[in-house]
A and B are shown apart, each in its own frame.
Chain A
Amino acid sequence: MTKIRYYGTGTIPGFESGELPGRLIVLEGTDGVGRSTQVALLHEWLEANGYAVTQTSLARSSLVGPGLTRAKQGHTLGDSTLNLFYATDFADRLEKEIIPALRAGFVCLTDRYIYSIIARARVRGVDPDWLKNLFGFAIVPDMIFYLEAGLEQLIPRVLSGEGFDYWESGMDVLRGDDIYANWRIYQTQLLEQFRVIGQEYKFTHVDANRSVHEIFTDLRRRLKPILKGMRPAV
């Protein structure tokens, strides 16, 4: 059993306290660091070993997902609005997916949590205290893996993936139209914010400059103590 702990004052009516038998595992990190690959591998590995697993990711809730995609296409949202939109989306997933899964005893693998939202907002100059209060309704995960790699390692991965994304290059905040140069500047700022946030929220650092297999092995090793008693004894 994990006792529910909130970052701020408990503000979810109906979920104020209690214990949840599941485990909340978060993978964080910047663009191209390989989060989704590791989430997919962990999901399969955990299931193959008899654990009950669910997966969630950012900006995909049934409530806000479509509205958020639409709003981002127009590039028209201001900072407070966008963060409140993200917060709504996150709250929806927390209440409708994550907490029920944890209550049912699942291992809940989450590709990004509030930290990505906070980091991107802090780069844009949003008041850190306001953000901290806003996400005070978030429950504290059992483990936060922060996948960290240098920019030079990330570039080939981004290029062989979806390429340089408008938002991940900070094109809304930086001047000029050089998406490569802006991506470098923006990601450097983002890494700096993650460093600060990581200390505050106690990230577990994972060196993501290594091969996919090495990272996977490392994550598995660190997960084991947390998953104790989670597997049905045959």
Chain B
Amino acid sequence: MATLPDGTLLPGRLFVVEGIDGSGKSTQLDLLHKWLVSEGYLVVFTEWNSSPLVRRTTQRGKRDRLLTPLTFSLIHAADLADRMERQVIPALKAGAIVLADRYIYTAFARDGARGLAGQWVRRVYSFAVRPTVAFYFQMPLDEALQRILVGRPELKWYEAGMDLNLSPDPYECFRLFQQRILKQYEAMVEEFGLTVIDATRPLVQQQQQVRALLTPHLHHLQKSTPSPWRQVLTREGLYGRYLHTTPEPKEEP
């Protein structure tokens, strides 16, 4: 079950993935998503910083570097609040599975790394639904950095933590910022009972572990009406990764 802040149980399930950049959490969530869909569950996916109403303000704030640690924190809270009210809670009430790529722990880690008071941030986010399971993909800093920085990609200002003036070199600044974030995550494992996944293990083994941990939570859930090609996918054990470009075939009248 997922739980509203006032203690109300919602019939749906909320599974979230967390971890530093490069930990591979989005890949794992993507695999999980496809598996759950192929099993016939009704799945809603939500991503950090994606509310259509709030995103334009956030984007402008980032582009023009208008955000301070305080406004950075608040605008991301507004983003999650909007998705919570319009997407996550209705889906959970309907008995669906909600998969969240990053959740409140990302805010606690980043805002903490930016020097905001932890207690204040936690109370700001007290509107958020308590997840059924929160996975933390644990990975040593150097390995995550190696994955991200191979090919020297251009780092965005806030992504690299350049607003904190940790170093004039974006790569060094990114490293120091990620180090702070990692420290915050590690402290939250116990605080929030995060389910730790060793993200250095092979991808398939991690996915098996995640599925095994989820399975006990998958009873009494809303299933979607299987479409003809979904049934084919389930029977053949395929993801259907190229089907999204094909329109869903209409049922015979």
Contacts and interface: CB of A to CB of B under 8 A. Distances in A.
Interface of A: 8-14, 62-64, 66-67, 70-71, 74, 76-81, 84-85, 87-88, 91-92, 95, 130, 133-134, 136-137
B117 A81 contact: no
B71 interface: yes
Contacts of A81: 51, 53-54, 78, 81-82, 85
Nearest to A13: B115
A78 B117 contact: no
A99 B51 CA distance: 30
Given A63-B61, A91-B74, A134 B124 contact: yes
Interface in B66-89: 66-71, 74-75, 77-78, 81-82, 84-86
Contact of A84 (B56, B66, B81): B81
A63 B116 CA distance: 20
Given A133-B123, A133-B124, A11 B66 contact: no
A14 B165 CA distance: 12
Contacts of A10: 117
Q: Is the interface of A mostly helix, strand, loop or mixed?
A: helix
B246 interface: no
Given A8-B120, A9-B119, A91 B84 contact: no
Interface of B: 51, 53-54, 56-57, 60-61, 66-71, 74-75, 77-78, 81-82, 84-86, 114-117, 119-120, 123-124, 126-127
Given A9-B120, A85-B54, A92 B66 contact: yes
A121 to B, nearest CB: 12
B204 to A, nearest CB: 39
Nearest to A126: B127
B103 to A, nearest CB: 15
Which 9 pairs show the lowest CB-CB distances between chains A and B? A78-B85, A84-B78, A67-B57, A13-B115, A80-B81, A88-B74, A81-B81, A133-B123, A81-B82
Given A67-B54, A130-B127, A133-B124, A84 B77 contact: yes
Contact of B71 (A9, A14, A63, A67): A63
